[in-house]
Amino acid sequence: MLKILTIVLVIFVVMACESPQEELPGPIHIVPIPLEMTVDKGYFQVGGNTVIHTVGADLGPVPGYVKEYFDGLTGKDLTIQYGESISKGYIKLELAGAVEGKEAYEISSSRKGVSVKASTAHGLFYGLQTIKQLVQQDSKGNYVIPAVMIKDAPRFGYRGMHLDVGRHFYPVDFIKKYIDLIALHKMNTFHWHLTEDQGWRIEIKKYPKLTEIGAYRKETVVGHASNSKAYDGIPYGGFYTQQQVKEIVKYAGDRFITVLPEIEMPGHSQAVLAAYPEFACKPGPYEVATTWGVMKDVLCPTEETFSFLQDVLTEVMALFPSEYIHIGADECPKDRWKESQYAQDLVKREGLKDEHELQSYFVRRIEKFLNANDRKLVGWDEILEGGLSPNATVMSWRGEKGGIEAAKQGHEVIMSPTTYCYFDYYQADPETEELSIGGFLPVEKVYGYEPIPAELDTDQAKYILGGQGNVWTEYMKTSKRVEYMALPRMSALAEVLWSPGDKKDYNHFVERMGSFRKHLDAMEVNYARHIFQD
Ligand code: TNX
């Protein structure tokens, strides 16, 4: 009897010691969902003695980020060790050529420690983003990382978020926060829309009036531009100095994000004309636009305009290491070119059919210049009209049509159709939302996006580099509003672009977002709450 009692007691004691050790405090929720994950028993407990062990020569800033993150959790000053292996209590970061793909990573964790492998620092960085989501806190306040095996790599190479700083201007600190959000979602491109009719936002040394005059408008339309004649009478503006641009490009680069700058031409250029009316087809004066829409005053395709643009792009290329430069080229009404003797003579001289071909001529000249400087041109899908430039990449926004056509012609494509990727659209009943531009794009619809159109065969599909969420800011006066419109739609798109299509499950996504939102809360992000029902 005593024997049996002892055995029962021993079992009890063992269970009492083991079970809290085994049981995870909460579910394992990762966004975007990894390619492969298996969960094992137990977990690693992070403590003051945990050592960050690095293997390999070029881990970039990653060990520093890992330390910063875990120092923050533990309140300790954790050691980074470059040398010998540690048998227990490690977070190991290892450059390993065997992990295929420059953004791929693998995590294996056990009671002894956590190991992250990747062939580049970029991959290790994504490993860290996942680890942050693996960390849980138990009832005693300890931080634990569940025992898992994860193999992860992105579905698409281009995973972007756009921000229009022309219509409204946001401080450098917010741009950095936006970049942090892009990084948290394992996205890799920040498309910075820097120039608009309503404001030119980047310092160009050779043309100081671009910012002295072009960065400021005298007032802004109140209400919806389609039916309002009211203006606020308040001067508005701002711009980024080259020093600030460098700081942002570096900040993004340190987070493995490429900044794709956009300098709009020949349309959306009224702010340029306000500063330098000589680049218009008609004499000025012009003023920086105060309402939203498509403006008829555009750049005139003169030699003076081309040399101006080349000068601007020369300064832009010096600031942005990006292989691609975006030149806009959307929504350029042809009225002024039709009226202009110069433009009409040019059409004849070049043997062009019409003003659409004149726009193609315009884009081709700029492309030649960019290519000669080892950069590639990206433009909105209007660059298809009148014939594509030889090496151009198309950003498809008016639906998927432009992207399909470009891919069929063997051109690279970034998908950003209004139907799935316009985060300036309403995400819930307009009656319950603040004024927005229009449209309707709830989170579930973004999540349902499939970036490879069914019309493309396997070879053509290879030209789809990926996709992007666009945040046009006519109706977003503050950075808090930008956050509300961008999230959590950005989270949905991140999963569309990162995770395999067959892993997608909307309900599961919403459930995982229930955990993911804690990271947004920690960053004090004003995300929209609709999917959380609170
Ligand atoms: C179209 S998308 C535009 C922008 C507007 C946006 C509003 C694109 C290339 N051009 O200038 O801000 O619609 O949704």
What would the DSSP string read from start to end of 287-356? Answer: ----S-S--S------HHHHHHHHHHHHHHHHH---SEEEEE--S---HHHHH-HHHHHHHHHTT-SSHH
Minimum mean pLDDT range among 15-19, 251-255, 359-363, 474-478:
15-19
Q: State pLDDT tens for residues 164-181.
A: 999 999 999 999 999 999
Q: Are 512 and 460 in contact (CB under 8 A)?
A: no
Reported in sequence order, the residue ranges of 446-493 that DSSP labels E, i.e. its strands, are: 464-469
Give a yes or no: residue 6 inside a domain.
no
Same domain for 127 and 242?
A: no
* Atom of ligand 1 at shortest range from CA of 425: 14
Q: Strands 79-81, 90-95: parallel, antiparallel or unpaired by DSSP?
A: unpaired
| CA-CA-CA-CA torsion sign (204, 208, 210, 216) | positive
Reported in sequence order, the residue ranges of 364-501 that DSSP labels E, i.e. its strands, are: 376-380, 393-396, 413-415, 464-469
- Give how many domains the chain has, as a whole number: 2
pTM to 2 decimal places = 0.95
- Secondary structure element (H or E) that encloses residue 137, with its range: strand 136-137
* Ligand 1: residue whose CA is nearest its atom 12: 472
The predicted pLDDT at position 373 comes to 98
Single residue among 108, 124, 152 that ends a domain in this structure: 152
Give a yes or no: residue 403 inside a domain.
yes
User: Ligand 1 center to residue 472 CA distance, Å?
Assistant: 6
Residue 3 has pLDDT above 80, yes or no: no
* Ligand 1: residue whose CA is nearest its atom 9: 330
Same domain for 386 and 277?
A: yes
412: CB partners within 8 A, 6+ apart? 393, 394, 406, 463, 465
Give a yes or no: residue 2 inside a domain.
no
Average pLDDT score over residue span 99-120: 97
* Atom of ligand 1 at shortest range from CA of 382: 9
The predicted pLDDT at position 359 comes to 96
Minimum mean pLDDT range among 80-84, 100-104, 282-286, 365-369:
80-84
Same domain for 43 and 185?
A: no
The predicted pLDDT at position 14 comes to 47
Residue 16 has pLDDT above 50, yes or no: no
Single residue among 120, 152, 184 that ends a domain in this structure: 152
Mutate which of 193, 226, 331, 485 for ligand 1? The one with the most ligand atoms within 8 Å of its CB, which is 331
The CATH number given to whatever domain includes residue 83 is: 3.30.379.10
Same domain for 132 and 177?
A: no
User: Ligand 1 center to residue 292 CA distance, Å?
Assistant: 10
User: Ligand 1 center to residue 315 CA distance, Å?
Assistant: 25
Percent above pLDDT 70 for the chain: 96
Helix (H, G, I), strand (E, B) or coil at 165: coil
Q: State pLDDT tens for residues 33-47.
A: 999 999 999 999 999
Q: State pLDDT tens for residues 184-201.
A: 999 999 999 999 999 999
* Atom of ligand 1 at shortest range from CA of 294: 11
* Atom of ligand 1 at shortest range from CA of 473: 12
* Atom of ligand 1 at shortest range from CA of 380: 9
* Ligand 1: residue whose CA is nearest its atom 2: 397
Residue 128 has pLDDT above 90, yes or no: yes
Give a yes or no: residue 481 inside a domain.
yes
Average pLDDT score over residue span 363-369: 97
* Atom of ligand 1 at shortest range from CA of 424: 14
User: Ligand 1 center to residue 265 CA distance, Å?
Assistant: 14
> Which candidate, 285, 277, 288, places its Cα nearest to that of 239?
288
Q: Are 104 and 152 in contact (CB under 8 A)?
A: yes
Reported in sequence order, the residue ranges of 372-513 that DSSP labels E, i.e. its strands, are: 376-380, 393-396, 413-415, 464-469
Cα-to-chain-centroid distance, residue 12: 52
User: Ligand 1 center to residue 470 CA distance, Å?
Assistant: 9
User: Ligand 1 center to residue 440 CA distance, Å?
Assistant: 15
The pocket around ligand 1, CB under 6 angstroms, is made up of 330-331, 380, 397, 422, 424, 437, 472, 474
Same domain for 349 and 418?
A: yes
Measured in residues, the chain has a length of 534
* Ligand 1: residue whose CA is nearest its atom 6: 472
pLDDT band per the 50, 70, 90 thresholds, residue 335:
very high
**What residue numbers bound the domain in which 193 lies?**
158-522
Residue 1 has pLDDT above 60, yes or no: no
Same domain for 355 and 258?
A: yes
Q: State pLDDT tens for residues 485-501.
A: 999 999 999 999 999 99
Q: What tokens were used for 493?
A: 């798109």
Give a yes or no: residue 357 inside a domain.
yes
Residue 13 has pLDDT above 90, yes or no: no
User: Ligand 1 center to residue 437 CA distance, Å?
Assistant: 10
Give a yes or no: residue 294 inside a domain.
yes
The predicted pLDDT at position 5 comes to 57
Helix residue ranges, H only, 185-302: 209-212, 242-253, 270-275
* Atom of ligand 1 at shortest range from CA of 268: 11
Residue 456 has pLDDT above 70, yes or no: yes
Say which residue the tokens 């804690």 belong to: 518
The predicted pLDDT at position 84 comes to 79
Residue 445 has pLDDT above 50, yes or no: yes
Q: Are 251 and 258 in contact (CB under 8 A)?
A: no
Q: Are 28 and 43 in contact (CB under 8 A)?
A: no
User: Ligand 1 center to residue 471 CA distance, Å?
Assistant: 9
Return d(Cα 378, Cα 86) in angstroms, integer. Answer: 48
Residue 17 has pLDDT above 70, yes or no: no
pLDDT band per the 50, 70, 90 thresholds, residue 18:
very low
User: Ligand 1 center to residue 94 CA distance, Å?
Assistant: 43
Same domain for 119 and 146?
A: yes
Same domain for 110 and 253?
A: no
The CATH number given to whatever domain includes residue 421 is: 3.20.20.80
Backbone angles phi, psi at 364, to 5 degrees: -60, -40
User: Ligand 1 center to residue 442 CA distance, Å?
Assistant: 19
Residue 260 has pLDDT above 50, yes or no: yes
Same domain for 471 and 492?
A: yes
Q: State pLDDT tens for residues 514-530.
A: 999 999 999 999 999 99
* Atom of ligand 1 at shortest range from CA of 331: 10
Same domain for 417 and 472?
A: yes
Q: State pLDDT tens for residues 61-87.
A: 999 999 999 999 999 999 999 977 888
Same domain for 359 and 436?
A: yes
Single residue among 134, 152, 170 that ends a domain in this structure: 152
User: Ligand 1 center to residue 409 CA distance, Å?
Assistant: 25
* Ligand 1: residue whose CA is nearest its atom 7: 472
Same domain for 129 and 276?
A: no
Helix (H, G, I), strand (E, B) or coil at 249: helix
> Which candidate, 417, 420, 403, 419, places its Cα nearest to that of 463?
403
Give a yes or no: residue 9 inside a domain.
no
Q: How does DSSP classify residue 279? A: G
Mean pLDDT for the chain overall? 95
User: Ligand 1 center to residue 262 CA distance, Å?
Assistant: 13
Residue 345 has pLDDT above 90, yes or no: yes
* Atom of ligand 1 at shortest range from CA of 438: 14
Q: Are 464 and 456 in contact (CB under 8 A)?
A: yes
Give a yes or no: residue 15 inside a domain.
no
